Amino acid sequence: MRTKVAIIGAGPAGLLLGQLLHAYGIDNVILERQTPDYVLGRIRAGLLEEGTVELLDEVGAGSRAHREGLVHEGVELAFAGSRHRIDLKALTGKTMMIYGQTEVTLDLMNAREAAGLTSIYEAADVEPHDFDTDHPRVSYVKDGVACELTCDFIAGCDGFHGVSRASVKPSAIKTFERIYPFGWLGILSETPPVSHELIYSNHARGFALCTMRSMRRSRHYVQCSLDDHVDQWPDERFWDELKRRLDQKAVDSLITGPSIEKSIAPLRSFVAEPMRFGRMFLAGDAAHIVPPTGAKGLNLAASDVRFLSHALREYYDEKSSAGIDDYSRRALSRAWKAVRFSWWMTSILHKFPDQGEIGARIQVAELDYLVHSRAATTSLAENYVGLPY
Ligand code: RFL
Ligand code: PHB
Residues 115 and 222 placed together within one structural domain of the fold: no
Nearest CA to 292 out of 345, 241, 242 is that of: 345
Using CA atoms, how far apart are residues 350 and 363, in angstroms rounded to an integer? 9
Sort strands 28-31 and 280-282 into parallel, antiparallel or unpaired.
Answer: unpaired
Per-residue confidence in pLDDT tens, the chain, 389 aa: 999 999 999 999 999 999 999 999 999 999 999 999 999 988 888 999 999 999 999 999 999 999 999 999 999 999 999 999 999 999 999 999 999 999 999 999 999 999 999 999 999 999 999 999 999 999 999 999 999 999 999 999 999 999 999 999 999 999 999 999 999 999 999 999 999 999 999 999 999 999 999 999 999 999 999 999 999 999 999 999 999 999 999 999 999 999 999 999 999 999 999 999 999 999 999 999 999 999 999 999 999 999 999 999 999 999 999 999 999 999 999 999 999 999 999 999 999 999 999 999 999 999 999 999 999 999 999 999 999 98
Reply yes or no on whether 384 is catalytic.
yes
pLDDT of residue 45: 87
What pLDDT, in 10s, does the model give residues 74-86? 999 999 999 999 9
Reply yes or no on whether 296 is catalytic.
yes
Residues 15 and 150 placed together within one structural domain of the fold: yes
Using CA atoms, how far apart are residues 302 and 6, in angstroms rounded to an integer? 18
Sheet holding 70-72, edge to edge: 47-49, 96-98, 70-72
Question: What angle, 0 to 180 degrees and rounded to 10, lies between the N-to-C axes of helices 356-372 and 322-349?
Answer: 110
Residues 135 and 41 placed together within one structural domain of the fold: yes
Residues 151 and 193 placed together within one structural domain of the fold: no
Sort strands 199-201 and 74-79 into parallel, antiparallel or unpaired.
Answer: parallel
Using CA atoms, how far apart are residues 182 and 353, in angstroms rounded to an integer? 9
How is residue 2 annotated by DSSP? B
Is residue 326 situated within a structural domain? yes
Cβ–ligand 1 contact at 128 (below 6 Å): no
Q: Looking at ligand 1, which atom is closest to the CA of residue 163?
A: 15
Reply yes or no on whether 22 is catalytic.
no
Ligand 1 centre and the CA of 298: distance in Å?
Answer: 7
Of 101, 140, 230, 275, best ligand 1 pocket probe by most atoms within 8 Å of the beta carbon: 101
Residue pair 32/42 in contact (Cβ under 8 Å)? The answer is: no
Reply yes or no on whether 200 is catalytic.
yes
Residues 248 and 272 placed together within one structural domain of the fold: no
User: Could you tell me which residues come within 8 angstroms of residue 377 by beta carbon, excluding any fewer than 6 positions away?
Assistant: 86, 91, 370, 371
Using CA atoms, how far apart are residues 91 and 119, in angstroms rounded to an integer? 42
Using CA atoms, how far apart are residues 294 and 380, in angstroms rounded to an integer? 10
Is residue 88 situated within a structural domain? no
Using CA atoms, how far apart are residues 152 and 280, in angstroms rounded to an integer? 9
Using CA atoms, how far apart are residues 367 and 78, in angstroms rounded to an integer? 9
Count CB-CB contacts under 10 A for residue 364: 14
User: Could you tell me which residues come within 8 angstroms of residue 356 by beta carbon, excluding any fewer than 6 positions away?
Assistant: none
Domain CATH code at residue 62: 3.50.50.60
Count of alpha carbons within 13 Å of 308, Cβ hemisphere only?
A: 33
Using CA atoms, how far apart are residues 63 and 69, in angstroms rounded to an integer? 10
Sheet holding 145-150, edge to edge: 124-129, 137-142, 145-150
Using CA atoms, how far apart are residues 133 and 274, in angstroms rounded to an integer? 17
Is residue 281 situated within a structural domain? yes
Is residue 37 situated within a structural domain? yes
What pLDDT, in 10s, does the model give residues 136-191? 999 999 999 999 999 999 999 999 999 999 999 999 999 999 999 999 999 999 99
Is the dihedral angle over the CA atoms 132, 137, 143, 146 positive or is it negative? negative
Question: What angle, 0 to 180 degrees and rounded to 10, lies between the N-to-C axes of helices 374-384 and 356-372?
Answer: 90
Ligand 2 centre and the CA of 70: distance in Å?
Answer: 13
Is residue 199 situated within a structural domain? yes
Find the distance separating the first CA and the last CA of the chain, reported in whole Å: 35
Nearest CA to 110 out of 194, 40, 162, 157 is that of: 40
Residues 201 and 322 placed together within one structural domain of the fold: no
How far apart, in Å, are the Cα atoms of 230 and each of 187, 206, 262, 265, 268? 10, 17, 7, 11, 19
Domain limits for position 38: 5-72+96-176+268-345
Domain CATH code at residue 250: 3.30.9.10
Q: Is 81 helix (H, G, I), strand (E, B) or coil?
A: coil
Residues 273 and 294 placed together within one structural domain of the fold: yes
pLDDT of residue 44: 87
Give yes or no for a cis peptide into 136 (omega within 30° of 0).
no
Residue pair 16/302 in contact (Cβ under 8 Å)? The answer is: yes
Report the number of distinct structural domains present in the chain.
Answer: 2
Residue with the nearest Cα to atom 7 of ligand 2? Answer: 295
Is residue 83 situated within a structural domain? no
Residues 244 and 116 placed together within one structural domain of the fold: no
Query: Any idea which ligand is nearest the CA of 342?
Result: 2
Using CA atoms, how far apart are residues 138 and 98, in angstroms rounded to an integer? 36
Residues 261 and 274 placed together within one structural domain of the fold: no
Q: Looking at ligand 1, which atom is closest to the CA of residue 47?
A: 43
Q: Is 124 helix (H, G, I), strand (E, B) or coil?
A: strand
Is residue 320 situated within a structural domain? yes
Phi, psi dihedrals of residue 45, rounded to the nearest 5°:
-65, 155
Residues 165 and 204 placed together within one structural domain of the fold: no
Residues 9 and 117 placed together within one structural domain of the fold: yes
Q: Single out the catalytic residue among 140, 180, 200, 327.
A: 200
Residues 335 and 252 placed together within one structural domain of the fold: no
Is residue 79 situated within a structural domain? no
